[in-house]
Amino acid sequence: MIKSLIARQLVYPFHEYLLKRPTFGYLAELEKSQWLSQEGIGKLQEEKLTHLLQKAERHCPWHRKRINEAEVDLSSPLSLHDLRRIPTMGKQDAVKHGDQMVWQGVPGGIYKYNTGGSSGEPLIFYYGRRRQASDAAGRMRARRWWGVEPGDPEVYLWGAPVELNNTDRIKTLRDRLLNQMVLNAFDMSLEQMDSYAKAIQFQQPHCIYGYASSLALLAAHMLDRQIKLNLADLKVVCTTGEPLFEHQRQLITEAFGVAVANEFGSRDLGFTAHENSRGQLLLMSESIVLEVLDEQGHPVKPGETGEAVITALESFAQPFIRYRTGDVVRLSDESCEEGRGLHVLGEVMGRTTDFIVGVDGTIMHALAVIYILRAIDGVAEFKIIQHTVKDIEVRVVPNARWRDEGRLEIETGLKKRLGQEVRVDLNLVEQIPVEASGKHRYVVSEVKLTDSLKKASQQSIS
């Protein structure tokens, strides 16, 4: 209790102050705005949209051209109808015109980042402190829906580097001060998962957070080993990073004894939606405008599925305006059952990844190898196929920045992650076709998991 209080009232605010992030101020705004009516939320979105487009027109040449060609009048408050006059944009636009989309002088400075590459094509982009604050505050608010306060003990099942450098050690110290424990989702051997269960028991978290598939894998392992934890203060397990399938939700709930709250978002756009205690996915309506469009670019009816096209209202450093995400979603016409004015997202159908198995039997999230490919300059798209524990096939669509040295960098990175005995067969190709289902799968493992763990990674139960 004392440690939580110190983290909440002293360490966490001081941490955000040092980073010049207005997180707690934004959190206070969100706590009030969530209780507005949907009409009030809509008016707030219009005000923020007008402000965003004014800044984009003034400071971002590529957006200025789009706005002017659409003849959008920025002298008065904008509506969603006005926004739809601007053409949509995609990841290729952000890759090609990124330098012309960045506001170099954004208050608080700009910071370089890249996407996870789970779509097969990493994107380098820039964000500012306001965008960071909106993400952090949105997550804090969603935790409060479940009775978890900032500074309460948490466990993160998340990606971690193979070796810690000085920066990573500083982050580890920061995590401890913030009452957070990070477990490596890239190292999920049977022995390691035993140790993770003990670590969670020691931490006594109020919240557990991580990749949906990794948490399901850990849950399946605990149930198989009949590991039962005594977590009296655990309120919720939060999943992220990929779709959460119903059988995975059941596994996690059975293993940890609490409800599961899923969230939806991306690195480039930030958090899109969080699940409340009634099982509804509530949009971060104060931070984004979501359009659900059909193949012709027209809005679908409530209850129908379409592509999520998002305008990020707090992304001033590099605005994403009418950004096609590639995710298929369904917008609901329901209202929040707890009385909030936030919009309800009915369903998210996104991309999933397989598990990868190391030579020593370690089971790891596919992002462990995705991170390696995304860091190689010159890789436009990729697909990784694990035929056996020791045989990895990598298909790369190169762009103009590709260098022959990239082959060695990819091979070295994969061997370091999976084991030196791994054979890497890298082929440069012109394109990577979709699966027969019409979906993209950028990491495929043909290595069979044990029966007790296999169910954690399956997309459905027969």
The CATH number of the domain holding residue 185 is 3.40.50.980
Please report the pLDDT score of residue 292 as a whole number. 93
Q: In residues, how long is the chain?
A: 462
Angle at 452 between CA 450 and CA 458, to 5 degrees: 85
- Is pLDDT of 407 > 80? yes
Q: pLDDT of 307-326, one tens digit each?
A: 899 999 999 999 999 999 88
Angle at 139 between CA 135 and CA 141, to 5 degrees: 115
The domain total for the chain is: 3
Query: Average model confidence (pLDDT) for the chain?
Result: 87
- Is pLDDT of 416 > 70? yes
Task: Say whether both 163 and 86 belong to one domain.
Answer: no
Task: Say whether both 344 and 363 belong to one domain.
Answer: no
Please report the pLDDT score of residue 326 as a whole number. 81
Per the structure, the complete domain to which residue 107 belongs is given by 2-132+268-274+279-349
- Is pLDDT of 283 > 60? yes
Say which CATH number the domain at 392 has. 3.30.300.30
Task: Say whether both 370 and 394 belong to one domain.
Answer: yes
Q: Which two tokens stand for residue 347?
A: 């369903």
Say which CATH number the domain at 338 has. 3.40.50.12780
Query: pTM for this one?
Result: 0.81
Give the Cα separation of 69 and 286 in Å (integer): 27
> 142 lies in a domain?
no
Task: Say whether both 125 and 17 belong to one domain.
Answer: yes
Q: Which of 349, 382, 401 is the last residue of a domain?
A: 349
Task: Say whether both 200 and 296 belong to one domain.
Answer: no
Task: Say whether both 125 and 153 belong to one domain.
Answer: no
Relative orientation angle of helices 246-256 and 212-224, to the nearest 10 degrees = 50
Give the Cα separation of 442 and 243 in Å (integer): 15
Q: Which of 305, 333, 349 is the last residue of a domain?
A: 349
Q: pLDDT of 206-248, one tens digit each?
A: 999 998 888 998 998 999 899 999 999 999 999 988 778 888 8
Task: Say whether both 112 and 37 belong to one domain.
Answer: yes
Please report the pLDDT score of residue 314 as a whole number. 95
> 81 lies in a domain?
yes
